[in-house]
Amino acid sequence: MQLTSTNTLQKTTPPTSRPTSTGEQGLRYGLRDGACQAITQGSGEQYLSAFALLLHASPFQLSALSALPQLIGTGAQLASVKLLQWFPNRKALISIGTVGQALAWIPILLLPLLLPQWGPWLIVGGAAAYFACAHFTTPAWNSLIADWIDQHERGAYFARRAQIIASLSFLALCGAGWVLSLWQDSTAAWWGFVVIFSIAGAARLLSVLALSPIQDIHPTARHEAQQGFRGFFQQRVTKDFRRFLLFAGLMHVAVLVAGPFFVLYMLQEIHLSYFGYGGWLAAGLLGQLMTLQAWGQFGDRFGNKALMSITGFTVPFLPMLYLVSTNFGFLLAVNFLGGVIWAGLALGLQNYVFDSVGPEDRAKAIALYSTVNAVGWSVGALLGSRLVEGLPSHVEWAGITLTYASNLPFVFFLSGALRLLVSACLLGTFHEARQVERVPRRQLLWELPLVKPLAQFATWTWPKTNR
């Protein structure tokens, strides 16, 4: 996600000129869009699987709900990149896709309730339409926003935006879980989903209103139109970027082996309420919220490759922890830690794409990255459904027998093992894409979010306690 510097714009145009003020408007829009997106995610996207379970979705249907919308969304994203070559009005493309997202909540909600016998598959179809519209906006949106940010301020800006998303998603998740819990034990439980999905759709419409005063005056879209997607892939994709894409794609395979089935584990295996499930989701968002700014500063200073290297070797152990206990407090702590680690890994993956290409290739690089991720996402989800159907619920090894209520904890463990294998094999095959500060690995560890403030607190209190 590489960008044109706002400092450069200020050198070539007067401070009161239109480009600078438009750039400031664009960055403010990015934050407002993030706020609207957070409400949609927290009150809508995060509860799609729970809605499918209400209509008795099978593990295979849950995996399809994760896999198929991403694959279809990838096609929409590639179509969006192609359309940018003929119609370089990024603002119009963003508006069309965002309105489509808002309207997609209508069939997601109504069709399964009208035809409950086909409910889970209708939810998959509605989600496919929703994510197709979401992916359709992605290249144009990232290209538009990236035009306003200096490359050395990118991590801080996107971390700030992600903080807004995490904080509002946290509130939306808790609120939606509380709303759903009001009807959980009644025959009209679907009324709770009517309320929260309506809020999700309205939030996307507010995002369109936030975009309305922005003017797309940068030349990036015209430059992007000069070369097709195939030419970009064959001529301008570096060896490091190819290896990065392989790492990202295979990591998504490993993660999605377990990803679609946490909702099944929480709601059906250990019988959390909707409010408890929302609290578990919110714990992950709280972890993101507390560390995103620090991760952004870390990536800006030491590079996104360093960020990925640290988080890539810690994220494998997260799903393995679910074999330890089903205590609700423990589950909250594990997902809080997951939010901390995933905040860094997701930020590093996103910003490495920006670092690796020039402004004229930005939309195509984002589409290529999203395509690889979507394929990995789909393969992992479908592989996970096969494992759920085939793995036993107990394991005997060296005279020790581990028995669980279901085989899902073993699926989670395999997901962690695959993540570790991907990180060990691929993280050393590509390099940092820009000039950053180089420091010893030990110092990098001391600069990590939560570690640095805790270390500073310990060094400040230790002399006092030994006087």
pLDDT single digits (tens) 119-131: 899 999 999 999 9
Which of 183, 210, 8, 190 has its CA nearest to residue 91?
A: 210
**Whether the predicted pLDDT of 12 surpasses 60:** no
Query: What mean pLDDT, rounded, does the chain reach?
Result: 80
Residue 78 has a pLDDT of 78
Mean pLDDT lowest for which of 7-21, 55-69, 310-324, 332-346?
7-21
Q: Per the domain annotation, does 4 fall within a domain? A: no
Q: Is residue 290 part of a domain?
A: yes
Q: Is 436 inside any structural domain?
A: yes
* Higher per-residue confidence, 327 vs 16: 327
Which pLDDT value is given to residue 108?
Answer: 93
Number of independent structural domains in the chain: 1
Range of the domain at 310: 19-461
Q: Tell me the pLDDT tens digit for each residue of 311-338.
A: 999 999 999 999 888 899 999 999 999 9
Q: Is the pLDDT of residue 457 over 50?
A: no
pLDDT at residue 140, as a whole number: 80
* Domain assignment of residue 83, yes or no: yes
- How high is the pLDDT of residue 7? 34
In the predicted model, is pLDDT for residue 374 greater than 50? yes
**What pLDDT band is residue 1 in, cutting at 50, 70 and 90?**
very low
Q: Does 51 or 12 have the greater pLDDT score?
A: 51
Tokens 């594990």 — which residue?
334
Give 351's contacts (C-beta < 8 A, 6+ positions apart). Answer: 1, 154, 155, 158, 299, 304
pLDDT band at 405 (very low <50, low <70, confident <90, very high): low
Kindly state the percentage of the chain with pLDDT values over 90: 24
Residue 268 lies inside a defined structural domain of this protein: yes
Q: Who's near 337: CB < 8 A, 6+ residues apart?
A: 287, 318
Residue 3 counted as domain residue = no
Question: Confidence class of residue 163 from pLDDT cuts 50, 70 and 90?
Answer: confident
Instruction: Compute the Cα dihedral for 179, 182, 185, 191 and give only its sign.
Output: negative
- 443 pLDDT higher than 80: no
Interval 61-68 mean pLDDT: 87
Highest mean pLDDT: which range of 172-186, 222-236, 354-368, 405-419: 405-419
Please classify residue 136 by burial: count the beta carbons closer than 10 Å to its beta carbon, then call 0-12 exposed, 13-18 middle and 19+ buried: buried
Query: 182 CB contacts (<8 Å, ≥6 apart)?
Result: 192
pLDDT score of 463: 52
Burial class (CB in 10 A: 0-12, 13-18, 19+), 93: buried
421 band by pLDDT with thresholds 50, 70 and 90: very high
Confidence band for 21, pLDDT divided at 50, 70 and 90:
low
pLDDT reported for residue 275: 87
Residue 219: CB partners within 8 Å, gap ≥ 6?
Answer: none
Nearest Cα neighbor of 220 from 361, 86, 80 is 361
Residue 9 lies in a domain: no
* Each residue's pLDDT tens digit, 186-198: 677 788 899 999 9
Higher pLDDT, 421 or 278: 421
Instruction: Tell me which DSSP letter residue 114 carries.
Output: H
Task: Indicate the burial class of 461 (C-beta count within 10 angstroms; 0-12, 13-18, 19 or more).
Answer: exposed
What percent of the chain stands above pLDDT 70? 79
More confident residue, 392 or 309: 309
Q: Which two tokens stand for residue 326?
A: 């089903």
pLDDT (0 to 100) of residue 116: 85
Q: How confident is the model at residue 155 (pLDDT cuts 50, 70, 90)?
A: low
Q: Is residue 7 part of a domain?
A: no
pLDDT tens per residue across span 226-283: 555 566 666 677 888 889 999 999 999 999 999 889 988 998 888 888 888 988 988 9
String of DSSP letters for 197-225: HHHHHHHHHHHHHHHTT-----SHHHHHT
Provide the CATH number for the domain around residue 375. 1.20.1250.20
In this predicted model, what pLDDT tens digit does every residue of 79-121 receive, in sequence order?
A: 887 777 777 678 888 888 899 999 999 999 899 888 888 989 9
User: Quick count: other Cβ atoms within 10 Å of Cβ 188?
Assistant: 8
DSSP 153: T
